Copies of this chain bind each other. A is one copy, B any other.
Amino acid sequence: MSLPTTLNYIKLKTAPSHESELKDGDVFVKHLYFSNDPTQRVYIQKDSVPSRCYMDPVLEGEPMRAFGISEIILSKSDKYAPGDLVYGTFSWSDYQVINEAFVWMKIDDKTFDIPTQLSNLGHTGLTAYFGLTHVLKMKEGQTIVISAAAGATGSVAVQIAKHMLKSAKVIGLAGTEDKCRWVESLGADICINYHDADYKEQLDKAIGPDYIDLYFDNVGGEMLSHMFTRVKKFGRIAACGSIIGYNDDDKNKLTNWTNLIFNYLTVEGFIVTNYAEHFPEAFGFLIEGLSTGKIKNEGSYYPLTKVPEILDLIFGSKKPNGKLLTRIA
């Protein structure tokens, strides 16, 4: 693909932060880990309409937004004290002065390490959980296809679907043979390499004659269009992401729409914060999964200077398995 890559549009620069910048309600944080997510690509889309995004766009010249886990160093907030470990919406940097409103919560339970807190117990794990339970309303014994199954969200969804929600059949779609074998090691009954010329035939064989109950879509475009024809009557589709199109709008076009009507399918778009009131239930579920080994954490770690490249890496087949985290210190 020849793309206007994010890399070309992001510059790293040095800028000081001063304690004297702290106003009432502000905190001064030392960042520890940043999450790298496909959705970040959408923040920097030049022609985006703010009212149609779930977060404001990041405008040219502004620091790049990222979710992260950080340590409070100084505080003029009543909510947070120095030493607190917090989860929040930050910007790519080593240290940052930020209002307490951008801090989501303090992390009290240190049972799990920070990478696990930021991926499986963070918005990635929550997205997989809510996509399966609240959006798809998955029931024991149902069959499911999960795209981008080697991705951060997809790989957690595979594990939850198979080991915790007792899916009868989990079919993953991923972009290399190695990724597919990894997805199968996580619990998928089969994972198909969508770069294979005959991937649709392989998929049909895996699906069998009865079609599939649910589709967890992280990809969009041609793959979603095909799945419109492979989800059974009254089936459900979770529209979690459309990574195929974030860099190339042409690839986001959809066909086979009449299948949705004549098979009474429901498609629901969602983001994890839609389900904020159910976070306690989700944390309980995910902690149980992690504690019992039903959900495993796998990811790769890169330094802050590599963060634009990591974001790019997410959009291609060379992306390593699972979550790609930036480790700052």
Contacts and interface: CB of A to CB of B under 8 A. Distances in A.
Interface of A is mostly: mixed
Contacts of A11: none
A265 interface: yes
B252 A255 contact: yes
A299 interface: no
Given A254-B253, A254-B254, A267 B262 contact: no
A122 interface: no
Interface string A41-59: 0100000010111100000
A234 B262 CA distance: 24
B271 A264 contact: yes
B52 A262 contact: yes
B257 A262 contact: no
Interface residues on A, range: 35 or more
Interface in A249-277: 249, 252-255, 257-271, 274
Q: How many copies does the complex hold?
A: 2
Interface string A17-58: 000000000000000000000000010000001011110000
Contacts of A115: none
Nearest to A255: B253
A220 interface: yes
Given A53-B262, A266-B268, A249 B239 contact: no
A242 interface: yes
A187 interface: no
